[in-house]
Amino acid sequence: MNFLDQYLRRSREIIGDRTDAEESYDNEVVKWLRKGKSIRAAIEKANKRYPAEALKVDETMVGDVAAHYDYLMQHMDIVEKVSQIGRKRR
């Protein structure tokens, strides 16, 4: 198994299985984080757009939630870069 396969397997374990709605919610949070919003503000924006998926984050978990979305954002960047490399090789 190559490095990329190992990475993708591990990232699936970390991120977990998500429904389309959960993925859309996560993408919304990431969108606002990329625009410079704090994790709380990004979640608030996503909660308004996707109320059925809304997260309720308290002080004890805000750090873990921020770390999760930081990982997810980095993962999305890696997948995009790998996709670009794959397209260039065709």
Dump pLDDT digits (tens) for 19-56.
Answer: 999 999 999 999 999 999 999 999 999 999 999 999 99
Distances in whole angstroms, Cα of residue 37 to Cα of each of 11, 15, 29, 90: 24, 22, 9, 37
What pLDDT does 85 receive?
80
Q: Whole-prediction pTM value? A: 0.86
> What residue segments make up the domains of the chain, in order of their start?
18-89
- Give exposure, 5-29, as e/b (b: 16+ Cβ within 10 Å): eeeeeebeeeeeeeeeeeeebbebb
Give pLDDT, residue 87: 73
Residue 49: how many other CB atoms lie within 10 Å? 14
Q: In the predicted model, is pLDDT for residue 90 greater than 70? A: no
- Tell me the per-residue pLDDT of 51-86, one tens digit each, with 9 for 90 and over: 999 999 999 999 999 999 999 999 999 989 888 887
